[in-house]
Amino acid sequence: MTQSFKTGGRIQGHSANLLLLAGFAIVAFVLPIALSGNRYLAFVAGVTMIHILWACGMNLLYGYTGLMPLMFAGIAGISAYTVVDLTANGWSFWLALPVGALAASITGTVLGLPSLRLKGFYFTLCSLVIQTVMTLGFIYFSGLTNGDTGFSQIPLPSLRGEPLSSLSYDLVLAAAAVLGVMVLIAIMRSTLGRRLIAIREDDELAAMLGINVTGYKMIAFFVGSLFAGVGGALYAPYIGFISPRSFDVLISMNIWLMVAFGGRGTIWGPVLGAALLAPLSFFLQEYYTIKDVLYGALIIAVIVLMPAGLLGSLGRTPRLPAAEIDAPVPRRSPK
Amino acid sequence: MSNANLIILLSTISTGLILGAIFSLVAVGVTIVYGSIWMPNAANGQFFLLAALFGWTMTVSWGLHPAIAAVLVIGLSVPLSYALEFVLIRRFYDVPNRNISYFVLSLGITQILAGIFAFTYGQWSDQFQLPPLIGGITFIGPLPVANNRLLVLVLALAILAALFALLRYHRYGRAIRAVFQNRDAAALRGVNVKASYSLSFALGNAVIFAGGILFALAYSFDLTIAWTMSITAFAIMIIGGPGSVLGAFIVGMVFGFTQAAVSTVASPTIAAFSYLGAMLLILLFKPSGLFAR
Amino acid sequence: MTRSLVCAAMISVAMLLSTGIGGAQEKPPVKIGFVTELTGAWTFFGTSCVAGLKFAEKQINTPGKRKIEFVIADNQTSPAQSVAAARSLDVQDKVLALSGPTSSDTGLAVYGYAEQNKVPFVVPVAAFPQLTKPGSRYTFRLEPDAVGWGYAISKFVEKQKPGGTIALIYSDYALMRAITAGLKYQAPLSGLKIVADIAFPQGSNDATVQAAQVLAATPDYVVVIGAGGFDNTITNQLLDLGIKPNQIIHPFGLTTQVMNWGKRSIGSYYGTFFDSNLDALTDEGKSFVEQFIAQYERPPSYGENFCYVTAHVIREVLDKNPEAADDREKFRDAMSALKTKETTSNIPIEFDKNGARKEYIYIMQITDIVGKAYKAKQTFYTEWDPEVIPVYTLVK
């Protein structure tokens, strides 16, 4: 890797992170209670929490490990379908959730295997193909997935025989998002985090330094997919409906955009990105004609104008040529 | 062989040729752009659709003859390409490892064009059908084939042949190929690299536009064709070898025949799975493709 | 005419009851959330549905009546967006009922939301059977369900050619699977034989080889159900290969589709639930057709009609039960008890315990295409009970 990646490389002030985390936790838990009078806004906030969780997982892979997995939504879908199938067969949601998330993790780890050989664009393209195959699969194996009609009327989970109230489930989502950020902070504080960054910066050098590149990439995929899986499992009963299109490439792109827009390789950038972009699609509901165009324009703006994202650009020394950063391809491309 | 089986066999060949020629055209367009400026253009399907939609507007709404419309559409691609190149594409020419930036950029362009199509053309999305270039039917053995489809096939093959000749014998083509092979060496030999970049971007897109308008002349289409085409063209480019025009042509033909033949032995869904699977295997084990330069 | 008079009389009585004599008190308009496809793959259907709705909206809001306002929201032909829009209309706009989706998957998404959150849901056009599966309480559907269409097509072929053979060639979408499931179930019961069954994955381009396979099976009738533009491709390629137009049955035909099939399809059959060429159009139906042509330069088809009728049905329910205008449970009960007729064609509307309607279909034969219109003659009509065949178990 020829480019250095200052913001991510620098271990941010830990106490600042803890303060921000406390602030985030307060906002996350107070928001559902404050918005409980308006189920719609509370719902938008809940969906945002799920996206924050997803963005953290994508950040681990894209921001910290330097891989852009466009099959992220498909992995979330594996978990969502598993949980819906299991609960339909009488499982408790709370038992199905870890099973579904684990299924997603294992799938994600297996589907991440190509990243051992492919880098940068080639891996991204590969993940795009995988995502396409997964979407086709969700349609094709209709015995498990109900095909393109999807599952509707997925009930909210219950606790001790009582269905959860919307507010309690909102709090569960908030807890999941806070926990997600905490886990990410913990990982980045640990040896694991530093080694992932080393791999992102230059995996050959990392290997020469004795880092088990294969192992760490697999761990990154396992953990990142766990984020996807937990989010997917929580998403299904919250929306009440899933279909192949709930987990298609556009969703992967949107999650990627949240990370890239907020600032990849920073803890709070993707959280900010998700908090800004996830509600946007709801608030733009009435301006449907411009929504896609706006999203596309945002993607281009990120690539052209601020490849390091909102937070990344703020805390950056200006000497790096801007466009270089978004090119995590090693010198030795796989050609 | 019974008459019915002969018809199935002949129809497989005719369909394979037409689909293959159109797939090849688009994949060649994509590979020319990738080979020169290193841009994996995921928006190729949207460009393809744009050409088809322009063709529909010109023939159905304005009443132009489809042949005139086809020429206009392909001509139109040139200023559009140069405009896009000027605004966005050239910003990245000097960026190392720019292919992933380009890839994401083209996904953004895809999103924008898809949004624009949705609210401009979406309301007519069940009626995109162009008048035929010529009428009548020719019998190939027992198989009746519409003359229009035969003409589309001939045109597609002619454009492919012209491209090969251009790249091999004309000085512009030689300049493009020199830059394909080694940018620095080409610059030393006095080739204007940047001009050759814009030229190949425009040329590649013109070929994609040609594929789009020819497809629209042979088939009805709708807005969903864009994404399918993008993935197909990518798969062909990867398997054939990014940057290899010959590879794109051969693999495109194979794809056409696969799509035509597979339903006689298995479900057409298997075809979609199989070409995506082939692409994954090639990516994993021979990322330079089967026909690497 | 008598109908409108009776209607007017009923409405005035209802008005007197609800507003008190001479008291023109102003109540806020009744809002109906209309979630439909304004962008995305199904836009052509959603926008034409809204066109039909707009016609009705002008007519039903005569002075002196409580205004009914349709709040239209786009769902981008995406189920997830449909749920989001339904939620927004339910919570933010506090609509009395939901309506609008014209495709089966967006319809099912809103259905899930409506049943879970006890919001009445009036479905104008979405044919997947599961929208009225047993246990549905808040959903009422005007369009007959797609498995039933398959049943009806078998009945049609049975009448046309007893012991006949059928080839199926269709895109692999939920709607098409539902139609063919009904057809495949009923065909042997009707003494018919399915000789080819070809499904295309989503995103197919060419059907020549498959058309040749159909030809090789020498069927009496070919049932063609392509998705979007692919429908024309299949039809053209079948005709190219020498299948006769009068062998082709399209289970459903919108005006635009009939125009797309064009002159070479004269003689082909298509199913519909309303057509400008019907024998049984009411005066109101005729004037709807005329006005629609005047504005959109093409006759309306069943999609526009169902959306038009939906608005009238809601008006009628509210006129008869003014107290239902502010109470979802009462509105649901009133819908459930409704016995009326389509204002355009006099076909009865009555919902069973699941919200499915007494079902029916017309099979039309295209007789001419002139300019921007077509002529077709009604060749078959049948009605059936929604559960005449096990529609809810044939497709899931």
HEC-encoded secondary structure of chain A: CCCCCHHHHCCCCHHHHHHHHHHHHHHHHHHHHHCCCCHHHHHHHHHHHHHHHHHHHHHHHHHHCCCCCCCHHHHHHHHHHHHHHHHHCCCCHHHHHHHHHHHHHHHHHHHHHHHHCCCHHHHHHHHHHHHHHHHHHHHHCHHHHCHHHCECCCCCCEECCEECCHHHHHHHHHHHHHHHHHHHHHHHHCHHHHHHHHHHHCHHHHHHCCCCHHHHHHHHHHHHHHHHHHHHHHHHHHHCCECHHHHCHHHHHHHHHHHHHHCCCCCHHHHHHHHHHHHHHHHCHHHHHHHHHHHHHHHHHHHHCCCCHHHHHHCCCCCCCHHHHHCCCCCCCCC
Cβ distance of B225 and C229 shorter than 8 Å: yes
Q: Rounded distance, CA C120 to CA C332, Å? A: 6
Eight-state DSSP code of residue C131: G
In this structure, the number of other CB atoms found within 10 A of the CB of residue B152 comes to: 24
Instruction: State which residue of chain A sits closest to C112, comparing Cα positions.
Output: A153
Whether B248 maps to a domain, the answer reads no
Count CB pairs under 8 A between chains A and B: 133
- Residue to substitute from B31, B46, B101, B280, interface A, most A β-carbons within 10 A: B101
Q: Is pLDDT of C33 > 80?
A: yes
Closest alpha carbon to A222 in A203, A199, A200, A196: A196
Distance CA A66, CA A327 (A): 9
Within a domain: residue A296? Answer: no
Please tell me the least confidently modeled range out of B24-38, C20-34, C181-195. C20-34
**pLDDT at position A328, please?**
37
- Asked if C383 and C360 count as a contact pair (C-beta separation under 8 A), the reply is yes
Report CA dihedral (A126, A129, A133, A139) to the nearest 10 degrees.
140
pLDDT at residue A163, rounded to an integer: 86
Please indicate whether, in this complex, the C-beta atoms of A241 and C79 are within 8 angstroms of each other: yes
Nearest Cβ partner for C209 among B11, B119, B137: B11
Spatial CB neighbours of B107, under 8 Å, sequence gap ≥ 6:
A253, A299, B42, B43
Chain C, 42-71: which have a CB under 8 Å from a chain A CB? none
* Tokens found for residue B26: 């688009």
In a domain, A94, yes or no: yes
Q: Is C178 helix (H, G, I), strand (E, B) or coil?
A: helix
The pLDDT of A207-219, averaged and rounded, is 90
Q: In chain B, whose CA is at the least distance from the CA of C217?
A: B4
pLDDT for the residue C219 = 96
Please count the structural domains in chain A: 1
The token pair that represents B225 in the structure block: 């064709």
Determine contact: C203 vs chain A, CB below 8 A: no
Q: How far is A292 from chain C (nearest CA, A)?
A: 10
Closest CA relative to residue C313, chosen from C120, C93, C104:
C120
Scan for tokens 């990120």, then name that residue. Answer: A302
Element housing C3 (H / E): helix C2-19
DSSP C191: T
Long-range pairs for C333-341: beta carbons < 8 A, 24 or more residues apart: C335/C120, C335/C122, C335/C140, C336/C140, C338/C313, C340/C313, C340/C316
What is the residue range of B93's domain?
20-222
User: What pLDDT shows up at residue C205?
Assistant: 81
Mutate to test the interface with A, among B46, B93, B107 (most CBs of A within 10 A): B107
Domain with A153, as residue range(s), is: 19-246
Whether residue B207 lies inside any domain: the answer is yes
Structure confidence by residue, pLDDT tens digits, A142-178: 889 988 778 888 889 988 888 889 899 999 999 999 9
pLDDT per position as a tens digit, A116-143 = 888 778 888 889 889 988 998 998 888 8
Instruction: In whole angstroms, give the CA distance from residue C306 to residue C290.
Output: 17
The mean pLDDT value for C9-33 works out to 63
Determine the Cα–Cα distance for residues C197 and C200; give it in Å rounded to an integer: 10
- d(CA C142, CA C119) in angstroms, rounded, equals 17
Task: Inspect the interface and report whether the beta carbons of C200 and B268 lie closer than 8 Å.
Answer: yes
- Helical pair B268-285 and B245-265, crossing angle rounded to 10 deg: 140
Of the listed ranges A78-87, B78-87, C162-171, C252-261, the least confidently predicted one is C252-261
Q: Give the model confidence (pLDDT) of C372-385 as tens digits.
A: 889 999 999 999 99
Q: Which residues of B touch A298 (CB under 8 A)?
A: 108
- Contact of A63 with A281, CB cutoff 8 Å: no
The verdict on C195 touching B (C-beta cutoff 8 Å) is no
Do the domain assignments include residue A287?
no
Q: Which of A298-302, A320-324, B143-147, C117-121 has maximum average pLDDT?
A: C117-121
The class that CATH gives domain C24-144+284-357 is: alpha beta
Structural domains counted in chain B: 1
Question: What pLDDT shows up at residue B265?
Answer: 66
Residue appearing with tokens 């209709």: A142
Instruction: Annotate B199-237 with b (16+ C-beta within 10 A) or e (fewer).
Output: bbbbbbbbbbbbbbbbbbbbbbbbbbbbbbbbbbbbbbb
Is C203 an 8 Å CB contact of chain B? yes
Q: CA of B171: how far to CAs of A195, B165, B182, B191, B264, in Å?
A: 51, 11, 16, 10, 46
Longest dimension (CA), chain A: 60
Q: What do you get for the CA distance between the two ends of chain A, in Å?
A: 16
Residues of B in contact with A2 (CB under 8 A): 96-97
In Å, how far is C117's CA from the nearest CA of chain A? Answer: 10
Q: Name the residue with tokens 């998404």.
A: C109
C-alpha distance from C143 to closest chain B C-alpha (Å):
20
- Cα B222 to chain center, whole Å? 17
The torsion of the CA quartet A193, A197, A200, A203, rounded to 10 degrees, works out to -90
Task: Report how far residue B237's alpha carbon sits from residue B41's, in angstroms, rounded to the nearest whole number.
Answer: 11
C109 with A245: Cβ contact below 8 A: no
Query: Which pLDDT tens digit goes with each residue over B33-65?
Result: 998 888 999 999 999 999 999 999 999 999 999
Q: Subunits with at least 3 CB pairs below 8 A relative to chain C?
A: A, B
Q: How many CA atoms lie within 13 A of B111 on its CB side?
A: 24
The verdict on a CB contact (< 8 Å) between B225 and C205 is yes
Is residue A245 within 8 angstroms of chain C, CB to CB?
yes
Span A254-293, pLDDT tens digits = 999 999 999 988 999 999 999 999 998 788 777 777 888 9
User: Helices in C222-301 by DSSP H: which ranges?
Assistant: 230-240, 255-261, 283-296
Q: Is the pTM of this model over 0.90?
A: no
CA distance, residue B283 to nearest chain C CA (Å): 23
CATH topology of domain C147-272+360-394: Rossmann fold (3.40.50)
Residue A148 within any structural domain of the chain: yes
Instruction: pLDDT band for C11, please (50, 70, 90 cuts).
Output: low
Q: Are the beta carbons of B108 and A129 separated by less than 8 Å?
A: no
pLDDT at C7: 56
Whether residues C80 and A147 touch (CB distance < 8 A) is answered with: no
Residue from the list C199, C213, C233 with its beta carbon closest to the beta carbon of B219: C233
> To the nearest whole angstrom, how far is the Cα of A39 from the nearest Cα of chain C?
6
pLDDT reading at A212 higher than 70: yes
**Residue A323 located in a structural domain:** no
Region C154-168: mean pLDDT is 96
> Which of C75, C102, C208, C240 should we substitute to test contact with B (largest number of B Cβ atoms within 10 Å)?
C208
Please answer whether residues C327 and C150 qualify as being in contact, where contact means their C-beta atoms are separated by less than 8 angstroms: no
**Cα(C253)–Cα(C376) distance, rounded to whole angstroms?**
11
| Chain B touched by A292 (CB under 8 Å) | yes
Tokens 């259905």 sit on residue: C111
Residue B164: which residues within 8 A CB-CB, separation 6 or more? B245
A87 assigned to some structural domain = yes
Instruction: Name the minimum distance, in Å, from the CA of C125 to any CA of chain B.
Output: 17
The predicted pLDDT at position A320 comes to 36
pLDDT higher than 60, residue C17: no
Cβ contacts of B162 within 8 Å, gap of 6 or more: none
Closest CB to C112 among A139, A241, A281:
A241
Residue of C nearest to A36 (CA): C91
Chain B, window 207-266: residues with a beta carbon less than 8 angstroms from a chain A beta carbon: 231, 234-235, 238, 242
| Residues of chain B predicted below pLDDT 70 | 1, 263-269, 292-293
Among A294, A297, A304, A296, which residue's Cα sits nearest to residue A326? A304
